[in-house]
Amino acid sequence: MNPFLALVYGLVGGSFINALLWRIPKNKNITFDRSECIKCGHKLGFLDLIPVLSFIFLLGKCRYCGKKISWQYPLIEIVSGLGLYFLALKFNGLEFAWLAGIFLLSVFIFVYDLKNLIILNGSVFIGVLWVSLGLWFFKINNFENNILTAFVIFSFFFCLYFFSKGRWVGGGDAKLGLLLGLWLGWPMGLVGLLFAYILGSIVGIPLLIFRLVSLKSKIPFGPFLIIGAWIAFLWGQKIIEWYGNILTS
């Protein structure tokens, strides 16, 4: 896959994700309405909607009302663009397209959970369909492993959810765990889960110590699950080998 073309796909995908992130919580039509400025409501033209570049040339301000545009928009576009760029260095053709879809969905779920503290059922449902399609295509002989992993991780979260009455994890985490387990299979699903907990502790414990959050505040776990899953997918094999070497030497 041509990495620069992938970069452009990612930038455009990120721009679409921005539109979804803004429209879905407000129940706006997600396909047909033209984008508008959040502050003044002015409909945006083509030159206002070029990923990253519009933000730079408009110096981060709306052309019509002069109010600041959130840096969230170019950031999401850049992350999406770079993500697809790096995937394109390793993967080709349909496999690239499949992973690119998973990556863009990951970005969406990550930010949506961070901002709204919820993982939409629809996003998990689309993910399960998309992942299943790819597994059926690329791993037709070894599909059971993935289904089993999805079930194990879902059960793990469901038990935590059930016994803590939703205080330790949210129901959305169980569904996201199912999706990521289905994608990664065994043992990578477990590696992803471990990294999610490690990252969650690295971020969460200082926040607790410095009282930026309390034990009662809700910290979304979805973003950690997603970063953990991608670490497992990209470097899990190396991590397992490295860990095996330590244990045997």
Distance between CA 189 and CA 183 in Å, rounded?
A: 8
Q: Is 64 in the site for Zn ion (CB under 5 A)?
A: yes
Of the candidates 201, 193, 124, the residue with the CA atom closest to the CA atom of residue 153: 193
* x/- track of binding to Zn ion for residues 2-41 (CB under 5 A): -----------------------------------x-xx-
What is the three-class DSSP state of 46? helix
Residue choice 65, 117, 129, 133 for contact with Zn ion (CB under 5 A): 65
Q: How far apart are CA 140 and CA 138, in angstroms?
A: 6
61 binds Zn ion (CB under 5 A): no
Which range in 44-52, 62-70, 143-151, 174-182 contacts Zn ion by CB under 5 A? 62-70
Is residue 62 at the binding interface for Zn ion, with CB under 5 A as the rule?
Answer: yes
- The CB-of-54 to Zn ion minimum distance in angstroms stands at 13
Of 6 and 62, the one with the shorter C-beta distance to Zn ion is: 62
Q: Using CA atoms, how far apart are residues 238 and 243, in angstroms rounded to an integer? A: 8
Nearest to 180 by CA among 241, 221, 142: 221
- Does residue 84 contact residue 13 with C-beta atoms inside 8 Å? yes
> With binding defined as CB under 5 A, does residue 68 bind Zn ion?
no
By CB under 5 A, name the binding residues for Zn ion: 37, 39-40, 62, 64-65
